[in-house]
Amino acid sequence: MPCGIFVGIDNHGKTILFGMITTGRSESINAFIKRFVSSHISLTEFVKQVDIGVEEIIQGHVHLDLTDSLKPTSLKTKSPLEEQVFGVFTPFAFKKFQEELTRSTLYSIIHVEGDEFIVRYYKGEDKISHGVFWNGNTSMCSCKNFQFWGILCRHIVRVLFHKDCFKISSSYLPLRWCCDALQATTSSGGPTI
């Protein structure tokens, strides 16, 4: 029998299971969804299962946090942006940000018009460009990396360096990737994006 599995990733980049269900061979997608939603016997039973699942996730995160705290993670560029993110993100998310930060040095800003920036990477004969909007508070990029991953892209980071911005607003440090939710919400001071 076919099996439907719903998975995602946690703030450590680990795959987690949200739920699963088996289907009949000739079952339609609508019947499958209906059965998945109504597969729990009662609301009370569902709440008990969620409580058990949450407790297991919390225990798993405590273990991952302890394991991650023992792994050596180091700053590569010593930039204020890197230091800020290092103190807030989980090691998994920090490494993703660090990759974007390092790659941002490979880009040039070739055009600025008001709050619009064109950032270009030269690769052989190819010239790959991205449009970045930054008005001092809000930032968006045509690559949509932040919307997809929740981690600022190399193009936005390049613009931040260009505009001498050395502090990231807490709105660009999603709780999903934070070690401690309080750290992410108390960031303040200095020019921010």
| 68 confidence band (pLDDT: 50, 70, 90) | low
H/E stretch holding 99: helix 91-104
User: Based on the domain organization, do 91 and 177 belong to the same domain?
Assistant: yes
Mean pLDDT, the chain, whole residue set: 78
> For residue 129, with 0-12 CB atoms within 10 Å meaning exposed, 13-18 middle and 19 or more buried, which class applies?
middle
pLDDT of residue 158: 95
Q: Does the residue 143 lie in any domain? A: yes
pLDDT > 70? residue 10? yes
Q: Does the residue 19 lie in any domain? A: yes
pLDDT of residue 179: 81
User: Based on the domain organization, do 52 and 122 belong to the same domain?
Assistant: no
**Lowest-confidence range among 38-47, 60-69, 147-156?**
38-47
Residue that is last in its domain, among 42, 70, 98 = 70
Average pLDDT over residues 122-129: 78
User: Based on the domain organization, do 172 and 114 belong to the same domain?
Assistant: yes
Hunting for tokens 């309080």 — which residue is that?
A: 182
User: Based on the domain organization, do 118 and 170 belong to the same domain?
Assistant: yes
Number of domains in the chain: 2
The pTM score is 0.62
* Structural domain harbouring 156: 80-185
User: Based on the domain organization, do 66 and 85 belong to the same domain?
Assistant: no
